Structures are given as structure tokens and as C-alpha cells.
A = this chain, B = another copy of it.
């Protein structure tokens, strides 16, 4: 489908993970890269429709799963039962999330990881910390 004059960043990112460059993966990754906030399966599916990319619900799940396993994307459980996905930027998992309680959007706050120098009680072994901030995003905070 793709002629050799398409060196898009999404394609090379997928190829670097040792995966096949398919139209679905490229489209999904481009959507994730363009989005400033974490997206649900449903939102990505709609964006896929806008692009005119034929897709299946299951394929989308598997594609997202592959992206997460490859370390390209990251998934997180929101307030409801829908998981959200976003591109994992430079750092590994070391970034915080901001959840707007009004519009429900979730944005990734890169480059800020507080000192989680918590005094753990027993023999707890800390591996990584996940910080979720709740409040109002700039858009919603301005209106109210």
C-alpha cells in the first residue's frame, strides 16, 4: 500500500520495534502522536474512521496492546472502566497524569516527577510510582 517515498516518523518508529508496518499501526500511532491527551479505544476508533481507515474493534485492542508491549505507548486505568492510551515520550514510565474532573480528559505531564521519597511501612519493595493529579484543566478552569 505504501510506496517507498513515505518516511513518516510513525512508520520508522514501528519498524524500530521490529514490527510490521501496517496501515492500522501507522494510523493509530499517528493519532496517538498527534493527540495531546490520552485516548480511549472508542476515541481512537472514531479518529480511525475520520482517516478512512477500515478497522475492527479487536484489531484496535491488539494494536494498542502491541504498542504498549513495545514500549511505544502506555496504558492507564481511568476513573471509569475504560482504559486510556497515550504515547510514552522520552522517559520510561516516569511521568505524571492530570485528570480533569470536569471534562474527564487525561493529559500526560512530561518532565515532572516529584520526589516520591515515601517511607514505606514494612518490607515493601518500590518499583515505580504513578502519580495522578485531579483538578480542572485550563479550558474548564477558565470557564467556571
- Residues of A with Cβ closer than 8 Å to B? 77-81, 83, 96, 98, 101, 109, 112, 114-138, 141-142
Contacts and interface: CB of A to CB of B under 8 A. Distances in A.
Given A77-B78, A77-B79, A83-B81, A126 B118 contact: no
A116 B129 CA distance: 13
A119 B115 CA distance: 12
Contacts of A109: 118, 120-121
Given A81-B81, A118-B114, A134 B128 contact: yes
B141 A125 contact: yes
A114 B130 CA distance: 12
A137 B134 CA distance: 26
B124 A138 contact: yes
